[in-house]
Structure 1
């Protein structure tokens, strides 16, 4: 049911309310490693808030795809090594055969040379010619044997090099798989407290069984000696109402009676959807906050942010009587019809109407 209210002049302090989460300003991030499979599944991780020592296991990904492949890669190494050794032995035997043939032809040439050295006047002319022909044949045979031996040795060397490359490639594949498996277990680089990261698509903390991609920050180790920060989001309908350097009050939900001063240090220039198929878009906002009590201020705590803007005066309308869409505002009148208006600013309850309404207009709010 609509509540009727008459518009009147007044003033407000423009105020923007945000909700955020406390984060460490300085922290060591443990991210998803890049692997051949790209996506990995979280098999185990330490509990949020757990105290760890340097070298303690804090995060482990499922390695079943790598261990299965590792066995096959190790078999490939054995096969490549066997092929290399077998070829080396066979090629050595073939080269030895060629060398034996070469020595045989060399001896034949020496014998033929010795026979042709006998003075021609001591032998029949036909014998001299036969011996000279035999020497020529021996020289040709030796030349061919030398070429065959050189070609065999070169071919063996090239094939052995190919086999060695195949063996080295198989060994590197095993080393890469073993390295990938070892990188699937992340350990704490120093003493600290575990803080579980937020899934960028689901808007919740990571859980065991989540499928993640390289670069996702799963776990952080905050440095509590450094100032903290707050990560919040500003709806795109409030574009322009927050600026870098704007000051406000930030209250931890766990300690509602102890607000702390904070100020905006970063504001994203582009609004983005928080989830894959969401139509709502938000600007990422980062605020700095003093770390006055490291024992109580822990990453992950919810924070209410109240940013104070300028003082505005003019025609006031209940915020619940206004609807905002794509940067435009519409005022719900007492009869239920909507009228487009221009809004100068708002606090939590009221908005200043710059144009489109006059004093005495009756509006309906819920």
Structure 2
């Protein structure tokens, strides 16, 4: 019990203070079943406090409203970080299921082109090597045919009777027969090995191509994952950067895994609260709780019910070093409250009747702070160039300068781009010279192959003519050898044609592989040249230059080192200015669409008229340094905006009676 007392949260201590005030008769404070007591009941209050059970301890929880059918827009994974958000739909836009809500800038297309070229080269290389092995296999087969012919001739000579020839010739014929038999066995083994090598190379080529196809499919899937589609109908709400505290917009820099926003549905709302470890014993699933909404001070508490409590606590760094259980609370049916996701909720277990909070005053002016922004802001960032991660900002137009279309805004530098471009150009020239030489060599090889085929066919014709001589005019042994020569030469002529075709395929594959390498180098050079030209950022339209801040919170300037994917400035459209402000949650009920405001620019005597045109679709923390819950307010100027610049801080005084009639004072 002592440990639980030491671990009380600030909210719980506030509740205990409320009980003490109740005991002194100072009115109801906090939650629980305590009620106002008279001064004479102090002794009874002390006795009740001394005999209280653990279940009667007052507990206050902090929670927020969330839409159960909302979809978190998570920045897709990427091989580079940070990255630039592209095609991020405007906040408040209504989207349907399947619509693209976010797309990141990625080099997936370049990787896909490279892998396609690699796949083409691998196939050409496998075809060339297979054809080369087929040429070698034809050579072994030709050697096998010649060995078979030699064996057949040796058998003819060895069949001569010993008594009809000299002993020396007989022994020589027998030795030739033995040698030809062994040579034929060796040639058969070589032919078998050559055929097996062709099969293995084909399998290796298929595996290599399959590997590249898998990598290509992965890159294509990753490219498809570079965009986020809505899973349901709803309204897009942008989130805030956890490390800069700025709202994510199109062109903003983000890290993979960041929550860039949500698609808010229109379905059931619920409440998520967090209970300190010391408060967990006083909560149970199914227990009723009282819910009060900070943004709705004029409404009475509603009764919800705890649906679930996580089994293990989790840390919440923004709240300190404590660990908290996540508590899911269901709202009552038909509560009729205008709830908005992100609203702060005060949760009091053991819902008890309490006095309704005081109605917020609607007859007082409310002053909020904001800044001038532009609806048409274009990011100024270095181009995305493969294998180039860091750039130097050589020149940047002065902040607040009006840039006309076609004028330069920024100039980036990167020695790596020039180095890569020179290296790739040198490699391209070398490959082109190699291709020219290869074409000349292959043309000569084609003529040589055709001559070899013609020679083989000529030898076959000669052997055919010799074998047609009358059998009676020549010796039987010589005639049998002529028949064997005819069979051999015809087979060699057929193999010469097969070999020539294999050589043509090998040369074609070699040329195709070299041409694919040249095409890849040309693509890389074109991409580098395009990136080098994009190092000079030119304004596509008229606009004002507004600087952005780096990781350390300082504005970019000439000489700054810029990582790929970071925006150094924005080009704001001066004709589409509005005021982006925020109102604290406790005062958000005093703001209505159509409310008139008087806008003052600090440091000048200028006062402009404006009107509230939109409210944020969700409540959120103001920034990482200021965790206060606020709601966005968008104001539109009533008149001209000449002389105003985006990024300037302003104060807007909202006139409450412009949105609704002021309440009569008693």
Q: What do the CA deviations read for 1:44-78 (whole angstroms, capped 9, x no partner)?
A: 22112334443221122233232222222223323
Name which of 609, 633, 639 aligns with 1:285.
Answer: 633
- The answer (yes or no) to whether the contact 1:196–1:206 under 8 Å persists in 2 is no
Could you tell me which residue of structure 1 aligns to residue 512 of structure 2?
Answer: 161
The question of 1:17 aligning with 2:367 is answered yes
Distance 1:95 1:138, change over 3 A: same
Following TM superposition, by how much is the alpha carbon of 1:289 offset from its aligned partner in structure 2, in angstroms? 0.8
CA distance in structure 2 between the partners assigned to 1:242 and 1:216 by the alignment:
34
Could you tell me which residue of structure 2 aligns to residue 218 of structure 1?
Answer: 569
- The answer (yes or no) to whether the contact 2:463–2:482 under 8 Å persists in 1 is yes
Could you tell me which residue of structure 2 aligns to residue 186 of structure 1?
Answer: 537
Aligned residues: 300
The question of 1:300 aligning with 2:647 is answered yes
The question of 1:135 aligning with 2:486 is answered yes
Could you tell me which residue of structure 2 aligns to residue 54 of structure 1?
Answer: 405
Distance 1:66 1:233, change over 3 A: farther
Q: How do residues 16-165 of structure 1 correspond to structure 2 at under 5 angstroms?
A: 16-26=366-376, 30-36=380-386, 37=388, 40-165=391-516
Following TM superposition, by how much is the alpha carbon of 1:199 offset from its aligned partner in structure 2, in angstroms? 3.3
CA distance in structure 1 between the partners assigned to 2:492 and 2:644 by the alignment:
93
Normalised to the residue count of structure 1, the TM-score between the two structures is 0.68
Normalised to the residue count of structure 2, the TM-score between the two structures is 0.40
CA distance in structure 2 between the partners assigned to 1:282 and 1:44 by the alignment:
38
Following TM superposition, by how much is the alpha carbon of 1:28 offset from its aligned partner in structure 2, in angstroms? 5.1
Distance 1:239 1:73, change over 3 A: farther
Following TM superposition, by how much is the alpha carbon of 1:288 offset from its aligned partner in structure 2, in angstroms? 0.9
Could you tell me which residue of structure 1 aligns to residue 607 of structure 2?
Answer: 258
CA distance in structure 2 between the partners assigned to 1:268 and 1:210 by the alignment:
37
Q: What do the CA deviations read for 1:3-61 (whole angstroms, capped 9, x no partner)?
A: xxxxxxxx773443222222334455545544434665433221123344432211222
- The answer (yes or no) to whether the contact 2:545–2:572 under 8 Å persists in 1 is yes
SS of equivalent to 2:549: coil
SS of equivalent to 1:49: coil
CA distance in structure 1 between the partners assigned to 2:429 and 2:634 by the alignment:
55
Q: What do the CA deviations read for 1:85-138 (whole angstroms, capped 9, x no partner)?
A: 444444444444433322221111121122233344444444433322221111
Q: How do residues 171-250 of structure 1 correspond to structure 2 at under 5 angstroms?
A: 171-190=522-541, 192-199=542-549, 205-208=555-558, 209=560, 211=562, 214=565, 216=567, 218-224=569-575, 226=576, 228-235=577-584, 238=587, 240-250=589-599
CA distance in structure 2 between the partners assigned to 1:106 and 1:128 by the alignment:
21
Following TM superposition, by how much is the alpha carbon of 1:200 offset from its aligned partner in structure 2, in angstroms? 8.0
Q: What do the CA deviations read for 1:208-254 (whole angstroms, capped 9, x no partner)?
A: 31635537472315243x5x301223456655554444332212235
Q: Name the structure with the higher helix share.
A: 2
Q: Which moved more, 1:171-180 or 1:212-221?
A: 212-221
- The answer (yes or no) to whether the contact 1:274–1:282 under 8 Å persists in 2 is no
Could you tell me which residue of structure 2 aligns to residue 333 of structure 1?
Answer: none
CA distance in structure 2 between the partners assigned to 1:241 and 1:41 by the alignment:
48
- The answer (yes or no) to whether the contact 2:385–2:527 under 8 Å persists in 1 is no
CA distance in structure 2 between the partners assigned to 1:200 and 1:273 by the alignment:
19
CA distance in structure 2 between the partners assigned to 1:114 and 1:85 by the alignment:
44
Could you tell me which residue of structure 2 aligns to residue 267 of structure 1?
Answer: 616
- The answer (yes or no) to whether the contact 2:572–2:646 under 8 Å persists in 1 is no
CA distance in structure 2 between the partners assigned to 1:88 and 1:202 by the alignment:
58
- The gaps in structure 2 that reach 5 residues or longer are 1-360
- The answer (yes or no) to whether the contact 1:233–1:285 under 8 Å persists in 2 is yes
Following TM superposition, by how much is the alpha carbon of 1:184 offset from its aligned partner in structure 2, in angstroms? 2.2
Could you tell me which residue of structure 2 aligns to residue 4 of structure 1?
Answer: none
- The answer (yes or no) to whether the contact 2:598–2:607 under 8 Å persists in 1 is no
Q: Name the structure with the higher strand share.
A: 1
